Copies of this chain bind each other. A is one copy, B any other.
Amino acid sequence: MAKMTFRYGAVSSAKTLNLLAVAHQVERQGKRVVVMKPALDTRDGPRTVASRAGLDREADVVLTEDTDLAADDYRGAACILVDEAQFLSAHVVEQLRELTRSAGVTVFAYGLRTDFRGRLFEGSRRLLELADSIEEVKTSCALCDRKAVFNQRLLAGRPVTEGPAVQLGGDESYRGVCYDHLGSGT
C-alpha cells in the first residue's frame, strides 16, 4: 500500500517550490506525476502552481469541494502532489487517502496547518487525521530567528485578529511568526 504524507509549513516556507522540485525530479526519472490544486486558490490563475522563488507549472487537476477521483485515472502514477492542501474539502482528502489503497499511488499534500486565528483549515484537519506521515517544511519567524509556527494576517503592516478564515493574499497580507511574536504582534 502506498503512503499519504502531509507536509505542512507556515506561509513562505517554500512548500510550493518543494512540490515543484519533487515533480521535476520524479519526471526526470521517467515516472508519471500528477499535480493537483484546489479551485479556491486563484492567486496565480486557475491552474497555475507558482513558487515565490521563481518556478511554476500547470496543475493537471483542479479540485473542487466535491471532486471525485477514480482509481483508474491514477494507477501507475508514481505520486500525486497537492498544493495549498489546507483548502481541500474533507471529501477530497478522503478520496486521496483512498487512492493510496485503490490505485497504489503515493500522495504528498503540501499546505498550511492553521489560519490566521490559529485554527486548523478543513483540509489540514482531515489530512492530520488521515495521513500516514506528518512532516514539517520549516521556515524562520519574520521577526526573529526562531521557527515560524503561526500565520499572522496583516492589514497595512499591522496584525489583525478578526475576519474570514480564508482570504487569499501574498507577502503583504501574511507572515510566519513564532508564538512569542504572535502574541506581541510586533
Give the interface of A toward B (CB within 8 A): 1-2, 4, 12-14, 17-18, 20-22, 24-26, 28-29, 31, 51-55, 78-79, 97, 100-101, 106, 113-114, 118-120, 125, 128-134, 136, 139-140, 142, 145-147, 149, 171, 178-180, 183
* Cβ–Cβ contact B179 & A97, under 8 A: yes
Looking at the complex, which one of B20, B31, B101, B134 makes contact with A180 (CB distance below 8 Å)?
B101
For residue A139, which residues in chain B have a CB less than 8 angstroms away from its CB?
Answer: 22, 25
- Measured in the bound complex, the distance between the Cα atoms of B26 and A97 in whole Å is 27
Q: List 14 A-B contacts (CB under 8 A).
A: A1-B146, A14-B18, A14-B22, A25-B52, A26-B140, A54-B54, A97-B179, A101-B183, A113-B128, A114-B129, A120-B128, A128-B128, A130-B179, A132-B147
Say whether B132 contacts A134, CB under 8 Å: no
Of residues A100, A114, A134, which shows the largest number of chain B Cβ atoms within 10 Å of its Cβ? A134
CB distance from A55 to the nearest CB of B (A): 6
Closest residue of chain B to A21, judged by CB?
A: B14
